[in-house]
């Protein structure tokens, strides 16, 4: 009974058709133009790093050049790969999604496609794939991104609080692993002074996409409470610092950090933060559960944001407002927040 292999070796050599028109494989089958033609493949999503298309004249390629690491942001490519696969199949084409082993990156892309197409959760989509390709096993970071994708209803958009928290935790993780954050991954909350009323409260490399999304979101945004757009201000000079939308809430005395963005956190809401902040101010100032700081998303006007830690000073009057630390810091209530961008409540007006 022990000599029975876990799966047929042909699984690695071949590609598997997960749903009609959508195939999955490692790199081995992609070395043969004839084999792919035989299977009727017309389009290829190649998720390898480094990479180059092998038969650019024969197939239409979509290249995602990323390594198979927990820290890789794959979710940002889900909208593009979904559209590519959907359009190809819609026109009667056949799509092969592959990486090196056909176990992690490519499986994640196919899983995300199945989730959105069939409106099914991660586990169900993965089961579907594993039945045909038992070696399917996305890395832990990708599993978390798939769970997030479900939580944000397939809407990869920086107006989504959970997605911004994910980007922030990814920045903190990059800072920890590599000692710096890549410029293209630096996503900062918009300076409320330069922010237009209809623009999203974030700027980044995807600002154009976000702006388009923001237009679609206008009616929803109009319904949002005014308090979310209201900025925290410097107590001394009244300079607007950051909107309430960019305040990170935490349960007092509990170490909820920014790395957690699972579905249950979606219930966290700014109004709750304000409520809990109000509750805290009414408590005794000596109480250990009082939060003396606002924790905010890193914002555009911050100085030396690439440093591991530093002071936060008002961009107008230079008075000291707080501190930041990418590795995290402890709130006065005992909660540990990572990363921590703290404004002392005594220095700002809500």
For Zn ion, the binding residues (CB under 5 A) are 234, 236-237, 239, 252, 291, 314, 316-317, 331, 333, 335
The rounded distance, in Å, linking the Cα atoms of 72 and 64 is 11
**In the complex, least distance from residue 290 CB atom to Zn ion, rounded to whole angstroms:** 8
Query: Any catalytic annotation for residue 331?
Result: no
**Helix locations, the chain, DSSP H:** 10-13, 33-38, 78-90, 105-118, 122-132, 140-151, 161-178, 207-223, 226-229, 270-282
**In the complex, least distance from residue 234 CB atom to Zn ion, rounded to whole angstroms:** 3
Backbone angles phi, psi at 93, to 5 degrees: -85, 175
- Residue identified by tokens 């249950």 is 264
Contacts of 87 (CB under 8 A, 6+ apart): none
* Closer to Zn ion by Cβ: residue 155 or 318: 318
**In the complex, least distance from residue 293 CB atom to Zn ion, rounded to whole angstroms:** 7
**In the complex, least distance from residue 201 CB atom to Zn ion, rounded to whole angstroms:** 20
Which of 99, 314, 331, 333 is catalytic? The answer is: 99
In the structure encoding, which two tokens stand for residue 219, read together? 């009616």
CA atoms within 13 A on the CB side of 75: 27
**In the complex, least distance from residue 11 CB atom to Zn ion, rounded to whole angstroms:** 51
Three-class SS state of 43: strand
**Distances, alpha carbon 3 to alpha carbons 6, 7, 133, in Å:** 9, 11, 20
**In the complex, least distance from residue 236 CB atom to Zn ion, rounded to whole angstroms:** 5
* Closer to Zn ion by Cβ: residue 212 or 287: 287
* Closer to Zn ion by Cβ: residue 84 or 301: 301
Asked, as a colleague might, if the bond just before 339 is cis with ω within 30 of 0, I would say yes
Three-class SS state of 10: helix
Strand partners, 23: 17, 96
* Closer to Zn ion by Cβ: residue 116 or 239: 239
* Closer to Zn ion by Cβ: residue 218 or 317: 317
> How big is the chain by its Cα radius of gyration, in Å?
23
DSSP 171-225: HHHHHHHHSS--GGG--EEPPTTT--TTS-SEESTTHHHHHHHHHHHHHHHHHS-
* Closer to Zn ion by Cβ: residue 99 or 331: 331
Residues tagged active-site: 99
């Amino acid at each position: 009974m022990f000599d029975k292999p876990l799966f047929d070796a042909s699984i690695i050599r071949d590609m598997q058709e997960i749903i009609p028109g959508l195939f999955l494989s490692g790199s081995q089958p992609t070395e043969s133009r004839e084999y792919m033609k035989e299977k009727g493949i017309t389009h290829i999503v190649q998720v390898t790093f480094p990479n180059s298309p092998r038969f650019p004249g024969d197939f239409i390629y979509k290249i995602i050049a990323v390594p198979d690491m927990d820290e890789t942001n794959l979710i940002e490519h889900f909208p593009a790969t979904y559209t590519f696969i959907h359009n190809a199949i819609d026109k009667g084409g056949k799509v092969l999604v592959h990486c090196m082993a056909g176990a992690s990156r490519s499986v994640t892309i196919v899983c995300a496609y199945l989730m959105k197409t069939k409106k099914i959760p991660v586990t169900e989509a993965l089961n579907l794939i594993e039945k045909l390709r038992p070696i399917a096993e996305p890395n832990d970071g990708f599993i978390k991104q798939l769970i997030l994708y479900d939580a944000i209803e397939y809407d990869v958009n920086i107006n989504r609080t959970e997605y911004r928290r994910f980007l922030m935790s990814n920045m903190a993780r990059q800072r920890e692993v590599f000692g710096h954050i890549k410029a293209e991954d630096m996503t900062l909350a918009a300076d409320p002074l330069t922010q237009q009323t209809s623009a999203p409260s974030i700027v980044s490399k995807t600002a154009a996409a976000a702006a388009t999304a923001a237009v679609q979101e206008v009616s929803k945004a109009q319904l949002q409470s005014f308090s979310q757009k209201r900025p925290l201000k410097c107590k001394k000079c009244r300079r607007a610092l950051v909107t309430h939308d960019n305040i990170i809430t935490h349960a007092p005395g509990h170490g909820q950090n920014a790395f957690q963005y699972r579905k249950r956190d979606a219930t966290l809401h700014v109004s709750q933060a304000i409520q809990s902040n109000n509750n805290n101010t009414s408590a005794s100032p000596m109480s250990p559960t009082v939060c003396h700081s606002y924790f905010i998303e890193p914002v555009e006007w911050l100085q030396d944001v690439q440093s591991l830690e530093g002071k936060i000073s008002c961009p107008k009057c230079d008075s000291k407002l707080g501190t930041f630390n990418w590795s995290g810091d402890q709130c006065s209530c005992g909660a540990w927040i990572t990363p921590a961008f703290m404004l002392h409540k005594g220095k700002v007006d809500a």
